Amino acid sequence: MGGIGDAISGVGDVLFGSEKEVSTQKTPRLTPEQMELLKKLSSQVSGQVGKGIDPYSGDLSAGPSKLQDTLFSILEGRQPGLINALTNYGQEQLTQDETYDQGAAKEYWQQSFVEPAKQQFWDDTIPQLQEQFAGQGALSSGGFNRAVADAAADMNTQLGGKLGEILYQGKQDFANRQLQERQVGLSTLDRALNEMNALMQTGQTQRGIEQGGLDAELQKWQMSQPYNNPWLGHAGTALGVNPYQINTVATGGGGGLMGGLMPGVGVGIGSMFSDSRLKTDVEQLKEVLPGVPAVRFKWNRDLLPDADDEPHIGVIAQDLQQVRPEMVHTDDATGYLRVDYENLLKEVEHGVY
């Protein structure tokens, strides 16, 4: 800040300050080694922009494994047979009654029961009846004939019942055998399907291993690309700071009362804090009103932690309160004194002083 004190001539300089010459300077912030590294990195990046990369030429998907391919071929060839087996099983259940062959059962009944019964009828039953009726002298009577007919009817009734029993049991046995055969067939089919499912799962595992190998090849290729060089991750650390710092340099001139007020303390150029308790390093300058000197000061950062550490120019509220109490009032929120700088500057500017 330009010195004001006795060198300030006129109230205008105190109010508005004198002009300064402002220029900018670009100061390097990198060491020569860091600057050289930055140039190399920039050259590498600029050389790659718009160029792209060579696409990966390897396989990305493993596809079906060898074991899966084999199973697919087997299933495709056997698919009609599997479908037919399941379909025939249902049809056999619906038609099993019609497929029972009664001929064999009747032949068995004929040979095992009918023929022996007839032979027994002629060998035993007829002679017994003849002997019975001959003793009564009624061998040629109608009673003998009725006895023979009744005995034959009883024999036929027994043979008919036996035939029904044989047919029923044979039918049941046939159905049970069919069911057992189907169960065996389905069990075999189920085992085959389970085995194929296990092989499919093994094939899926085999494919996963092959896919893992392809993924590893892709990762290896990616790691070999220039843009994945791990040393590039250390570039920021190697550089550390921005390459240049732009500094604004002001020379000559001096700060005025209007320009020296603390930014953000007041609103506009109206009422602003100017309490002596908020100021440190106070240096009196030329009076702006009788008994009210302008002062150069710094803000008390213990009370105003957000304030800067630069020197400013203003007045002390307690000094102004002695001369123009109407221009000073107490802030309700903080209890510090505020100065009505707008009216103070108008008074000074219009030559009241």
Same-domain status, 99 and 196? yes
- Alpha-carbon gap, residue 270 to 340, rounded angstroms: 6
Same-domain status, 195 and 77? yes
| 43 within domain boundaries | no
Same-domain status, 73 and 199? yes
The one-letter amino acid at 306: D
Q: Which two tokens stand for residue 290?
A: 């009788």
Backbone angles phi, psi at 145, to 5 degrees: -65, -40
Range of the domain at 129: 66-204
Same-domain status, 191 and 321? no
Rounded (10°) angle between helices 66-95 and 142-223? 160
Number of domains in the chain: 2
Same-domain status, 271 and 200? no
| 47 within domain boundaries | no
| 166 within domain boundaries | yes
Q: Identify the domain boundary among 204, 237, 263.
A: 204
Residues in the chain: 353
Backbone angles phi, psi at 270, to 5 degrees: -80, -120
Percentages helix, strand, coil for the chain, rounded to the nearest 5? 60, 15, 25
Q: Where are the beta strands (DSSP E) in the chain?
A: 17-18, 21-28, 244-251, 254-255, 271-273, 279-289, 292-299, 312-314, 328-330, 337-340
Tens of pLDDT, residue by residue, the chain (353 residues): 333 333 334 545 555 454 455 566 667 777 888 788 878 877 777 666 666 677 888 888 888 888 788 877 777 776 666 666 656 655 555 455 457 778 888 888 988 889 898 898 898 888 887 777 777 776 677 777 888 888 889 989 998 998 888 888 888 888 888 777 777 767 776 777 787 788 778 878 888 898 988 889 888 887 777 767 776 666 666 666 676 666 655 554 445 555 455 443 433 445 688 999 999 999 999 888 888 999 999 999 998 888 888 999 889 999 999 999 999 999 998 899 999 988 888 887 765 44
Q: Identify the domain boundary among 143, 170, 204.
A: 204
> How deeply is 144 buried, as exposed, middle or buried, from its count of CB atoms within 10 A (0-12, 13-18, 19+)?
middle
The conformational region for residue 346 under phi > 0 = left, psi -120 to 50 = alpha, else beta, is: alpha
Return all residues near 349 (Cβ < 8 A) that are at least 6 apart: 11, 15
Q: Whole-prediction pTM value?
A: 0.31
- Alpha-carbon gap, residue 329 to 77, rounded angstroms: 103
Beta bridge partners of 28: 244
Same-domain status, 179 and 264? no
Same-domain status, 163 and 270? no
Same-domain status, 191 and 83? yes
| 100 within domain boundaries | yes
Same-domain status, 135 and 196? yes
Q: Identify the domain boundary among 146, 171, 204.
A: 204
| 276 within domain boundaries | yes
Give the pairing type, strands 328-330 and 244-251: unpaired
Please report the pLDDT score of residue 342 as a whole number: 85
Backbone angles phi, psi at 24, to 5 degrees: -115, 150
Please, are residues 218 and 122 in contact by the beta-carbon 8 Å criterion?
Answer: no
| 146 within domain boundaries | yes
- Alpha-carbon gap, residue 315 to 287, rounded angstroms: 9
Residue 279's nearest CA partner among 256, 297, 304 is 297
Same-domain status, 187 and 88? yes
Q: Which two tokens stand for residue 228?
A: 């994945």
b/e per residue 322-344 (b: at least 16 CB within 10 A)? eebeebbeeeeeeebbbbbbeeb
Radius of gyration of the chain (CA): 61
Please report the pLDDT score of residue 348 as a whole number: 78
| 238 within domain boundaries | no
| 160 within domain boundaries | yes
Q: Which two tokens stand for residue 224?
A: 């070999």
